[in-house]
């Protein structure tokens, strides 16, 4: 009986956490991260700030949780592409295009979201480092399969994954993407992606 009660408590807690994060994301997107505080989130949810603090110690902690949620969506997308019954090259190609599309649409189309992401990157949160590590492991597996199929040259898959990811930084890093998007003297996403894939075959 106590286990059922604990499950109910956990479900209620998760529901409250989700409501707080949804409200915070909505307000951050509308007003901007710097102009939104915990009192605003509490007011939006018609609860007291003290109630928010039962679940999150600070606005920064709310922001970290939101950042983790956005990165989880990015990883899930990458994971789904990695599982497709396609060649390693095609999966890497689709991964890179999808990440660039997500960066442009989710993080740049809305200026307020961009501010949120920039703050997270500048603070070098562990959730971002963990995400990079998980993505590199996923890429290493694709590259490993490409090597086994004779599609890519013999090489260290982990090193190749880190290099592949780093070579496409201008497609996925929000600040760099924002700077390069409107410039004509930069390599296009297609050019960068094909260059990176060709490097794996040599």
Number of Cβ atoms within 10 Å of the Cβ of 139: 25
**Where are the domains positioned within the chain?**
1-56, 63-201
Task: Give, in degrees to the nearest 5, the angle at Cα 9 between 71 and 50.
Answer: 75
pLDDT tens digits along 115-163: 666 677 666 667 888 888 999 999 999 999 999 999 999 999 999 999 9
| d(C-alpha 51, C-alpha 47), whole Å | 7
Structure tokens that stand for 78 in this block: 């990458």
Specify the CATH architecture of the domain 63-201.
Answer: Orthogonal Bundle (1.10)
pLDDT of residue 131: 86
Question: Please, are residues 199 and 167 in contact by the beta-carbon 8 Å criterion?
Answer: yes
Decide whether 1-56 matches 63-201 in CATH topology: no
- In the three-class reduction of DSSP (H, G, I as helix; E, B as strand; rest coil), residue 33 is classed as coil
pLDDT of residue 182: 65
* Distance separating the N- and C-terminal Cα atoms of the chain: 62
Q: Which residue ranges of the chain lie beneath pLDDT 50?
A: 1-5
pLDDT of residue 69: 84
pLDDT of residue 109: 54
pLDDT of residue 5: 45
CA 114 to chain centre: 13
φ, ψ dihedrals at 165, nearest 5°: -60, -45
Instruction: Count Cβ atoms within 10 A of the Cβ of residue 30 and give its class: 0-12 exposed, 13-18 middle, 19 or more buried.
Output: exposed
- Smallest CA-to-CA distance from 94 within 194, 5, 14, 198 is with 194
pLDDT of residue 4: 44
pLDDT of residue 163: 95
pLDDT of residue 101: 87
The CATH number assigned to the domain with range 1-56 reads 1.10.10.60
């Amino acid at each position: 009986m106590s286990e059922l009660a604990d499950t109910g408590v956990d479900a209620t807690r998760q529901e409250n956490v989700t409501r707080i994060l949804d409200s915070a994301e909505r307000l951050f997107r509308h007003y901007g991260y710097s102009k939104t505080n915990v009192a605003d989130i509490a007011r939006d949810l018609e609860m007291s700030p003290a109630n928010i603090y039962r679940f999150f110690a600070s606005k920064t902690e709310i922001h970290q949780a939101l950042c983790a949620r956005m990165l989880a969506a990015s990883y899930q997308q990458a994971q789904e592409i990695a599982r497709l019954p396609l060649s390693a090259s095609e999966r890497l190609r689709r991964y890179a295009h999808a990440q660039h599309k997500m960066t442009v649409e989710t993080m740049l189309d809305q200026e307020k979201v961009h501010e949120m992401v920039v703050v997270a990157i500048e603070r070098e949160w562990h959730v971002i480092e963990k995400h990079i590590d998980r993505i590199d492991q996923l890429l290493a597996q694709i590259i490993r399969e490409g090597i086994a199929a004779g599609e890519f040259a013999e090489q260290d898959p982990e090193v190749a994954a880190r290099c592949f990811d780093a070579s496409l930084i201008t497609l996925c890093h929000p600040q760099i993407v924002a700077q390069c998007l409107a410039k004509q003297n930069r390599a296009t996403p297609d050019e960068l992606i094909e260059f990176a894939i060709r490097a794996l075959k040599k």
